Amino acid sequence: MQDILVPISIFLGTFAMVFGIRYLSNKEKMAMIERGIHPGVSRSAPKPYLSLKFGLLMVGLGIGLLVALFTVKNVFGPEITRGEEGQAAAIYFGFLGIFGGLGLITSFLIEKKAIDTDPSK
């Protein structure tokens, strides 16, 4: 009996979630139409440096993975025991966070420099 309850619960939960999202989206669009706002118009500002930000983030993550790989190989040697696996995983996640954050900081500094030197101000 319990074997059939899990798929039914998953199906009903998914259906309720999709229905709720569509219902609230429709209510939001109707409220925008009542206020005279066209619902197809994007509300967010353009993000000209978004690809730079994600590019530097990915480069930072890649460099972080490489540095973590070399660090783990040099610290633990070629053979990693069962107890050292957790420490190696922590090193990987730590370097991913550090170098990913450095990539985002670099992106911010490049954007700030471009905005400060913008002649249209």
- For the stretch 39-94, pLDDT in tens is 776 666 667 788 888 888 999 998 988 888 888 888 888 777 777 777 888 888 88
DSSP 39: T
DSSP 48: T
For 74, the token pair is 């040099």
Residue 35: CA atoms inside 13 Å, Cβ hemisphere, count? 9
Task: Give the C-alpha separation, 88 to 77, whole Å.
Answer: 11
**CA distance readout (Å), 104 to 8, 48, 50:** 43, 15, 11
In a domain, 19, yes or no: yes
In a domain, 121, yes or no: no
The structural domain count of the chain equals 2
pLDDT at 20 over 90: yes
In a domain, 64, yes or no: yes
Please check whether residues 35 and 67 belong to one and the same domain: no
Handedness of CA 72, 76, 82, 87 (dihedral sign): negative
pLDDT at 19 over 80: yes
pLDDT at 121 over 70: no
The pTM (predicted TM-score) of the whole model is 0.55
For 107, other C-beta atoms within 10 Å of its C-beta total: 20
| Domain span at 15 | 1-43
* Segment 98-113 mean pLDDT: 89
Angle between helices 50-76 and 85-116 (to 10 degrees): 150
Please check whether residues 61 and 104 belong to one and the same domain: yes
Share of residues in the chain with pLDDT > 90 (%): 24
In a domain, 75, yes or no: yes
User: What is the residue-averaged pLDDT of the chain?
Assistant: 85
In a domain, 60, yes or no: yes
